[in-house]
């Protein structure tokens, strides 16, 4: 993508092409690869998918998702109903540990509890994201456990070396301090970016990931 207009039009085309997104009320702005999504969508999964669609486009370095979820009247659920539905979904999901709970307020879900791995926290988000009536998900789940920074650095680096998406000559570097991992360097695409961040969250004891990766587009 050579110009701002090219990238913006490509993102708009990708949003229209994606069958999981109603792009009718979405506008796209682009400034040197910094893409902003504005407007409304009728569900939280569409809010997430719109950002994922924009990230797939060549030339996109970052996506600022300013979309609002405006539920159709038939999709509104009151707080007690949505709280019960979300907690049932968490209980029925075998990848979500016991003790993770959800509470709803005006369609906004808050998740709390304790897990061992970042991927378990992501699984909890996924378990409730597609429920009717959800407008947003706020994840306040904590991650338990201590980590040896040397072990974490080695585990993450080994995972990146095994990953088919991450190039062998990648300059991505991993620095662990306590339970916090800082990622730096360059990746070509958002798919590669997500592969690096996802691998980092798999390591035991990681409580925070500071993402300073530069997506070159």
Q: Check residue 205 and give its pLDDT.
A: 74
Q: Hey, what are 2's tokens? A: 């050579």
Tens of pLDDT, residue by residue over 61-96, are 899 999 999 999 999 999 999 999 999 999 999 999
Instruction: Using CB atoms within 10 Å of the CB of residue 164, give its burial: 0 to 12 exposed, 13 to 18 middle, 19+ buried.
Output: exposed
Q: Is the pTM of this model over 0.85?
A: no
Q: Check residue 146 and give its pLDDT.
A: 67
4-69 has CATH 3.90.180.10 classification: no
Q: Check residue 145 and give its pLDDT.
A: 67
Q: Check residue 169 and give its pLDDT.
A: 80
Domain spans in the chain, listed from the N-terminal domain onward: 4-69, 74-143, 149-215
Q: Check residue 201 and give its pLDDT.
A: 86
- Judge whether 74-143 and 149-215 match in fold: yes
All residue ranges of the chain with pLDDT < 70 are 1-4, 145-147
Q: Check residue 4 and give its pLDDT.
A: 62
For domain 74-143, which architecture applies? Answer: 2-Layer Sandwich (3.30)
In words, the CATH class of domain 149-215 is alpha beta
Tens of pLDDT, residue by residue over 7-31, are 999 999 999 999 999 999 999 999 9
Q: Check residue 3 and give its pLDDT.
A: 62
Q: How far apart are CA 30 and CA 45, in angstroms?
A: 23
Are the beta carbons of 8 and 30 closer than 8 angstroms? yes
């Amino acid at each position: 993508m050579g110009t701002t207009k090219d990238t913006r039009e490509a993102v708009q085309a990708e949003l229209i092409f994606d069958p999981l997104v109603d792009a009718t009320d979405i506008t796209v702005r682009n400034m040197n690869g910094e893409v902003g999504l504005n407007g409304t969508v009728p569900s939280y999964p569409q809010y997430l998918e719109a950002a994922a669609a924009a990230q797939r486009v060549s030339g996109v370095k970052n996506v600022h998702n300013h979309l609002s979820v405006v539920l159709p009247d038939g999709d509104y659920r009151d707080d007690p109903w949505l709280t019960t539905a979300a907690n049932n979904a968490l209980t029925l999901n075998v990848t979500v540990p016991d003790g993770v709970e959800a509470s709803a307020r005006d369609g906004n879900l808050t998740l709390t509890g304790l897990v061992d791995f970042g991927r378990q926290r992501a699984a909890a988000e996924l378990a409730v994201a597609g429920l009717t009536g959800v407008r947003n998900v706020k994840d306040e789940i904590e991650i338990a456990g201590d980590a040896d920074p040397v072990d974490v650095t080695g585990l993450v680096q080994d995972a990146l070396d095994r990953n088919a998406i991450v190039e062998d000559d990648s300059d991505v570097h991993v620095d662990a301090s306590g339970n916090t991992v800082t990622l730096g360097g360059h990746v070509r695409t958002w798919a590669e970016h997500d592969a690096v961040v996802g691998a980092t969250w798999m390591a035991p004891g990681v409580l925070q990931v500071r993402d300073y990766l530069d997506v070159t587009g």
